[in-house]
Amino acid sequence: MYTDLEGKVVIVTGAGGGIGRETVKRFADNGSLVIATDVNEETGHETVEYAGKELVTFVAADVSNADSMGRLVERTLELHGRLDIAHNNAGVELNGPHLADVTPEQFDRIMAVNLSGVFLSMRAEIPAMLNGSGGSIINTSSGLGVKGFAGQSSYVASKHGVLGLTKTAALEYAAQDVRVNAVMPGVVRTPMVEAIEAEVPGFIDMVTAKHPMGRLATPGDIANAVLWLASEQSAFVSGAAIAVDGALLAG
């Protein structure tokens, strides 16, 4: 348990499932006041049921829309008066097409959610933290934020970009007590991965074999790293990209 997270106000984007849903629950389990947000209202409300109605509030928002993210932060301040922590986690994938077969519309959609979504989230969140006592931002990148992967050009580009935003924001706001870090998951057993398996049978076995620890990550594995980065246990950590990947990137 992280006692310093009790009473902290947290936004989690992409909270409708997978990593986001589990992170919401872990924050609530530690006594945080969580704003769970997702573009999908049905799955967002399911997260509230899963994580606990007492400490979790669902607010629908679209990370690819600046006005929507501004309203999300405004609503957070209306409800709780401040913002201490943000986990910018929303993301989508495009599996299969090689670069020359990706349409501009497909590329733009990936970038709008995965990269612009992180930019717009931080753009709305940081002023609220500066008006308070600082804060901690954790962005979800990927192991593919530091390497390539055939058939994932758009996703790879977006996750590389997340790391660039993370490091630059960490430098810009370090003196104002806003820490900005990223987690780089390996392949996580989420609905997104299950969807790829449905399209490409054998995908899960193939990527599991690439992880030296012999398994895929669970959403809880990533949530544990997010909570550590949010807590005072990591008070001198900013601008870092933490691999949570079962040694995938080590070799």
pLDDT digits (tens, 9 = 90+) for 218-236: 999 999 999 999 999 999 9
- What confidence tier does 192 reach under pLDDT thresholds 50, 70, 90? confident
First vs last Cα of the chain: how many Å apart? 32
The continuous run of DSSP H or E covering 138 comes out as strand 135-140
Of 192 and 6, which is predicted with more confidence?
A: 6
State how far the Cα of 92 lies from the Cα of 69, in Å rounded to an integer.
Answer: 17
pLDDT digits (tens, 9 = 90+) for 27-40: 999 999 999 999 99
- What confidence tier does 202 reach under pLDDT thresholds 50, 70, 90? very high
Catalytic residue among 2, 50, 155, 173: 155
b (16+ CB within 10 A) / e for 107-135: beebbbbbbbbbbbbbebbbebbeebeeb
Domain ranges of the chain: 3-244
b (16+ CB within 10 A) / e for 50-78: ebeeebbebbbbbbbbeebbebbbebbee
Spatial contact of 165 and 141, defined as CB atoms under 8 Å apart: no
Q: What is the mean pLDDT of the chain?
A: 96
Dihedral class, residue 60 (left if φ above 0, else alpha if ψ from -120 to 50, else beta):
beta
Please report where in the chains the tokens 């020359």 appear, as a residue: 100
pLDDT of residue 193: 85
pLDDT digits (tens, 9 = 90+) for 123-148: 999 999 999 999 999 999 999 999 99
pLDDT of residue 241: 98
pTM for this entry: 0.96
Exposed, middle or buried, 35 (CB in 10 Å: 0-12/13-18/19+)? buried
pLDDT of residue 1: 87
Lowest mean pLDDT among 18-27, 139-148, 191-200, 230-239: 191-200
pLDDT digits (tens, 9 = 90+) for 167-184: 999 999 999 999 999 999
Q: Is 2 a catalytic residue?
A: no
pLDDT of residue 85: 99
- What confidence tier does 95 reach under pLDDT thresholds 50, 70, 90? confident
pLDDT digits (tens, 9 = 90+) for 61-93: 999 999 999 999 999 999 999 999 999 999 998
Spatial contact of 47 and 219, defined as CB atoms under 8 Å apart: no
pLDDT of residue 112: 98
State how far the Cα of 155 lies from the Cα of 240, in Å rounded to an integer.
Answer: 20
* Structure tokens given for 47: 């997260």
Which CATH architecture does the domain made up of 3-244 adopt?
3-Layer(aba) Sandwich (3.40)
